[in-house]
Amino acid sequence: MIMAGGAGVRLWPLSRAGHPKQLLPIVPRGGANRSLLDLAVERAQSLVPIDRVLVCTGEAYRGSILATVPSLGDSQILGEPCGRDTLNAVALTAAVLEREHPDAAFAVLTADHVIEPMETFRAVMETGFSLVARDPRRLVTFGIRPSHAATGYGYVRRGAALHGFAGASTVAEFVEKPDAQTAHRYLESGDYSWNSGMFVLRAAPFLEAVRRFQPEAYSGIREVQRAWDTPHRGEVLARIYPTLPKISIDYAIMEPASRSAEFAVCTVEMSLSWLDVGSWPSLAETITPDESGNRIAGEGGVCALDSRGCLVVQEGSGHTIALLGCEGLAIVRTPGATLVMPLERAQDLKGLHGIIPPELQ
């Protein structure tokens, strides 16, 4: 299952209402610009046939996704009437799968990532499936080997190695986004991985964890499950889903389960290139820089003099952006809005977006 429900606020104004970042052709790969969802579907197909790929997203995006990824069928879209964070997206998927396949195991991927090489990704995910095949109580997470002391990611502290499974260990602790000093300490210790937000789970044991730690969400998801193959599915989903507690799977399940003897939370380290394309600086990393370190994408013209380390993105042609004496700026032009900001202020974009009138967002 690919989670593809985010609004992509930190990639505004390219990502806007009705045109979320996961559907935009913004990642240069193989001589063409591809969408994050297209890349995620390709990764999922390296694990299972296309008919076993599900996408959990906002119901409003159903038509756009089917048009963007024509290999998917309508029944493969799990449409949420509203976003209720990752716990409910994963619980809904588990409930749908359990109806037809009581022993189902599934991977949870996201449409936010650029991950390479594919062969390494596939091998690591297969380890995850092997772990839950051996012990259904296992809730498997995937950690990224840190390349620097990042403060924008959550961390997982690895515990005892799980012998017979390459790169796998128990989870000793989940840690939220640290300050810079703490992140450096984590990096130097060698005991921590970035929390990737990807999982391998068995449907029934995961739903049991939801019952144990989030009974309100469990009750609602079970009601949706009972109505899923009936004419009442839409009505029940629209009535129940907005009432579910809005909480991430990490807070709701993984953290308490890691302290419980009823479940076995473990992690598999991913030693590969992993980029969470959730902001303009991270998107810039997907674009080859010129001799001045400027990264340019889009159809319009760009002229730069004495300018370094800038990101320029244009949607549409017939417009020229000229830079003189600029350094470290992001300039993003769309037909409806233009953003200019220092790249180092990218984490503050959500605050700016919050004060823009809704009709202009």
Model confidence band, residue 31 (pLDDT cutoffs 50, 70, 90): confident
CA distance 172 to 192: 10
In the prediction, which pLDDT does 318 show? 85
Report the predicted TM-score, pTM, of the whole model to 2 decimal places.
Answer: 0.89
User: Average pLDDT of 91-117?
Assistant: 95
Q: Mean pLDDT over all residues of the chain? A: 93
Give the per-residue pLDDT at 158: 95
Q: What pLDDT, on the 0 to 100 scale, is given for residue 27? A: 84
pLDDT of residue 112: 87
Query: CA–CA distance from 224 to each of 70, 84, 240 (Å)?
Result: 27, 14, 7
**99 to 24, 196, 204, 347: CA distances (angstroms):** 33, 28, 10, 41
Q: What is the pLDDT of residue 317?
A: 81
CATH code of domain 2-276: 3.90.550.10
Domain map (residue ranges) of the chain: 2-276, 280-360
**pLDDT score for 21:** 84
Helix axes 233-240, 215-227, angle to 10 degrees: 160
241, amino acid identity: Y
Q: What is the pLDDT of residues 218-274, one digit of tens each?
A: 999 999 999 999 999 999 999 999 999 999 999 999 999 999 999 999 999 999 998
Instruction: Give the model's pLDDT for residue 114.
Output: 92
Percent of the chain scored above 70 by pLDDT? 99
Least confident of 32-36, 69-73, 309-313: 32-36
Mean pLDDT (whole number) for 157-184: 92
The 10s digit of each residue's pLDDT in 320-355 is 999 999 999 999 999 889 999 999 999 899 899 989
Per-residue confidence (pLDDT) for residue 20, from 0 to 100: 82
Q: Among the listed ranges 9-23, 128-142, 205-219, which one has the minimum average pLDDT value?
A: 9-23
Distance in angstroms (rounded) separating the CA atoms of residues 353 and 84: 20
Q: Which of 10-24, 95-109, 154-168 has the lowest mean pLDDT?
A: 10-24
